Amino acid sequence: MRANQELIVIKAKKKDIDSGFNQLAAELIALDKYEENESMEILYGAVTLGDIWKFGTLDRKKKHIVKNIHSQTIPEETEAVFSILMGIIGEI
């Protein structure tokens, strides 16, 4: 079975979450061009250092990338990270 939604997860190199987010944005744009299923209006992604997670989205119609202002940390916010991930991928 396949998840209801695509999710890209990027591991940030050199402990630089901002550069990692730039890479995530590029990959979301590439996925937008590759993904034929137009019913997915929003594409989701995350960049992580392992202990820090930052999420973002690409609105496919508006061609607009949104970077979540807040970062989540592991282990303090493990439940929040998993909740976000499960909310994105939905039921498998």
- pLDDT the model gives residue 20: 94
Per-residue pLDDT tens for 38-79? 788 999 999 999 999 999 999 999 999 999 999 999 999 999
How many residues comprise the chain?
92
The pTM score is 0.85
Angle at 57 between CA 79 and CA 29, to 5 degrees: 135
Residue 4 pLDDT class (50, 70, 90 cuts): low
For residues 73-86, average pLDDT: 94
- pLDDT the model gives residue 37: 77
| Contact yes or no for 42/52 (Cβ under 8 A) | no
The proportion of the chain whose per-residue pLDDT surpasses 70, expressed as a percent, equals: 93
What residue segments make up the domains of the chain, in order of their start?
7-89
